[in-house]
Amino acid sequence: MAGGKYRDYPRNLHMFETERLIVRRYTLDDLDELIEMRSDPDVYRYLGGLERQNPAEITKRLDFYLACYEKLGFGMSAMIWKENGETIGGCGLQPLEDTGEIEVGYSLKKDYWRRGIGYECAYAWLTFGFEQAGLERIVAVADEANVGSWRIMEKCGMTFEKMQAAYNMECKFYAISKEEFKKTRGSNAS
């Protein structure tokens, strides 16, 4: 549907809701919208650059997300803004390249930056990962220049571990264990 308005998808695509978001699995119907969102230079510069954000690569990435649902029961998902039904970005848990680790990730349309949405979705996915998916550790990576993103990781209770190459970028690598997350539950929920 043009304009990114919410579609009445089957309930089995629904992952969860937060105060302001509906999070549902991607479908092949989301491809055009995903390509459009990732065509913004301000968005793609933190997603591995233009070479990773062309229609062919985004199609492969969407296929990867769909395979994650089948294999893991979770994956990157569409983020719907409850107020107006617009698809505003993507968020979720997925394998981090070939590391064997599960990462939390998120990307938003520029109009929705600086509203606390990155934190809201990342924290919800950490909760899902530890409480529903039974994960013991979750990681996250961000381009060093993407200060907003790595500050979200820190606010979620994640700890910087190292610099590491990921998605064709040198990234700050963060992690949190299930036990560490339990300790931060009350102090970070805002």
- Chain segment 77-92, per-residue pLDDT in tens: 999 999 998 999 999 9
State percent of the chain over pLDDT 70. Answer: 84
Cα separation values, 137 from 8, 76, 110, 121, 163, Å: 33, 17, 29, 17, 18
Cβ atoms of 138 and 93 closer than 8 Å: yes
Mean pLDDT of the chain: 86
CB-count exposure of residue 169 (10 Å: 0-12, 13-18, 19+): buried
The C-alpha atoms of residue 23 and residue 56 are separated, in whole angstroms, by: 25
Whole-number pLDDT of residue 110 = 86
Quote the pLDDT of residue 12: 66
Mean pLDDT, rounded, for 133-144: 94
**Rounded mean pLDDT, 65-84:** 93
Instruction: Give residue 37's pLDDT band: very low, low, confident or very high (50, 70, 90).
Output: confident
Residue 39, pLDDT > 80, answer no
Q: Greater confidence, 127 or 42?
A: 127
For residue 3, the model assigns a pLDDT of 42
Q: Which domains does the chain have, with CATH numbers?
A: 11-184 (3.40.630.30)
For residue 45, pLDDT over 80 is answered with: no
Q: The whole model's pTM is what?
A: 0.87
